[in-house]
Chains A and B, each alone.
Chain A
């Protein structure tokens, strides 16, 4: 596939991720922070997010599996996951965490378990999407092209120079 076609695919795919709410403007901020001095910045941050999230999801599973659930601990884990997902622009994960925290406050075990399932699902979805996006970016760069961030216009927002 030639570079121009790959770039067009990247633009459309990225737009779809924003349209479907997987990502928000914070992700674009990360992309704009990437430069020649740190060309793998987005990959590094996203990888950290994956590691962090998987650890937290495991911690949450263990915490909710206890005979007596420590909802304060559960809430602390969800708060962390909400924070990191917000920081990278993983909007649907963030929103799922917000709902989760409400049930932590109510100390509702059953609802919390359902929320954990939901958060895990959203996480798996966005992980899959981000891995695809990063692969596309790497293919563009390997073919000598650049990522056309300035061509993004999405979700009621336009890129203003």
Chain B
């Protein structure tokens, strides 16, 4: 029973900051299907999720105000990390990245870009301008562990060999090294 409780604490901590508060992700994607899937994936891993369907909406959530006369309160929703699609109309993920990194009030919020396309120039441009990472769609469970590390890089990593929840995986029977689909799932070790 004690081991189970410890395991549960570990799991809850997997998407929590040092105070045990869930990591708050601002998930930005113009595609409704992707927003729903990513949102569910994050919530199931105990992240707190706020979704935005555009870069413009994301900036509003972060506190950027068009009304420059009144001072906005930046990040009052306490976003810990921004996860944004690259390809979006009007304001793409790179534009959003630059807007965030160009504002001293929010530039410390880590930004991770996701895209269905592998474009080396696009990737290096984003990384060179402050993106923490550039992940391929569709997002997998292992990617969520990276998100956690970008929010609290000094967080303890579960030791191998200790009891922990493991991923339900689809693995090729041939054991080839090719990229294989992974599925999120849990089973008690």
Contact = CB atoms under 8 A, between A and B. Distances in A.
Interface residues of A, number: 31
A26 B138 contact: yes
B168 A161 contact: yes
A87 B168 contact: no
A32 B168 contact: yes
B181 interface: yes
Nearest to B174: A156
B168 A83 contact: no
Interface residues of B, number: 30
Given A26-B138, A84-B31, A158 B171 contact: yes
A29 B34 contact: no
Interface in A13-39: 24-26, 28-30, 32-33, 35, 38
B181 A157 contact: yes
Given A35-B44, A52-B31, A160 B184 contact: no
Interface of B: 31-34, 36-37, 40-41, 44, 87, 89, 116, 137-138, 140, 166, 168-174, 180-185, 187
Given A45-B33, A87-B33, 6 more contacts: A25-B183, A32-B185, A33-B40, A48-B36, A80-B31, A83-B137
